[in-house]
Amino acid sequence: MTNSFLSKQCKEVILGSLLGDGSLKIHHQYKNARFSFRHSIKQKEYFFWKLKQLKEISGEKCWWIQSNNELGGDKLRYQSLALKSLTDLYQLTHKRQRLRIRRKWLNMLTPLSLAVWWLDDGSLITNGRRGVLCTDSFSYEEQKLIARYLYKIWDVKVAIGKIHREWNGKLAEYYRLWIRSSKELQKLLRIILPYIKIVSMLPKVLLMYKNINLQQRWISEVSKTTGFSQTVIEKYLNEKKSRWKKFRE
């Protein structure tokens, strides 16, 4: 089965997910590429929301539960049909069977793409007023390219910082993109807020303030932009604050 065309929305979701949890691959004995991703069972609402955006590339049995304790418990796994349209996207984003960050396709990202990327691999840190994007799999040069892109196109400044993790018994060095000011983080979140359609993903965009006026201002902005009630937002915010030691003191 082939399909030479991808809708704008489907392409936006795939490109954003390629920076996060998604992957394109041409499997052995197949001519065309498939798109796949997996999420924790805890993210099932987000997982099925993403599936709805990908109906045009999905078969009847496109998802299943993947049991693997080494990966932190059961996962929900998605895999698309093998399609010519996905092969075209694969050729644009890959070189020698590896995802390559290039400005040519970064320029195709949209606010929806950035929202998917953040929901996949973005996190709020430092009392909920700083952010990080887990870009461990990309080289330093590729991350410089992404950082320049975010600044030039979206006016969001990010810093590249090292992290160290143990891999196969050895300490390995990786890089991540850090958003080190509330101002820059707000810029990014304001771009993606209109695309936050799953209530369980609200914690990903809830900045936390001890100043009551600043907190209420952000609650109001999130409510107005996402359409979720302030009551619901406050519920998730209070649950989040209760898990952060400095907000309990």
The answer to whether residue 188 scores a pLDDT higher than 50 is yes
Q: What is the pLDDT of residue 2?
A: 40
The answer to whether residue 1 scores a pLDDT higher than 60 is no
What pTM value is reported for the model?
A: 0.93
The answer to whether residue 246 scores a pLDDT higher than 90 is no
The answer to whether residue 249 scores a pLDDT higher than 80 is no
Burial of 54 per CB tally in 10 Å (0-12, 13-18, 19+) = buried
Domain 112-248 CATH superfamily: Homing endonucleases (3.10.28.10)
Q: Count of H helices and E strands in the chain?
A: 10, 10
Q: For the chain, give every residue range classified as CATH 3.10.28.10.
A: 8-98, 112-248
The answer to whether residue 142 scores a pLDDT higher than 80 is yes
Query: pLDDT tens for residues 9-19?
Result: 999 999 999 99
The answer to whether residue 3 scores a pLDDT higher than 50 is no
Q: What is the pLDDT of residue 70?
A: 64
Q: What is the pLDDT of residue 71?
A: 57
Sign of CA pseudo-dihedral 224, 212, 233, 191: positive
Question: Could you tell me if 208 and 128 are in contact, meaning their C-beta atoms sit under 8 angstroms apart?
Answer: yes
Q: What is the pLDDT of residue 5?
A: 86
Say what percent of the chain tops pLDDT 70.
95
The answer to whether residue 67 scores a pLDDT higher than 90 is no
Pick 24 or 68 by higher pLDDT. 24
β-bridge mates for residue 83, sequence order = 33
Rounded Cα distance between 158 and 164, Å, is: 19
Rounded Cα distance between 18 and 36, Å, is: 10
- What average pLDDT does this structure show over 70-89? 90
Domain 8-98 fold: Endonuclease I-creI (3.10.28)
Which pair of tokens denotes residue 189? 């979140």
What average pLDDT does the structure give for the chain? 93
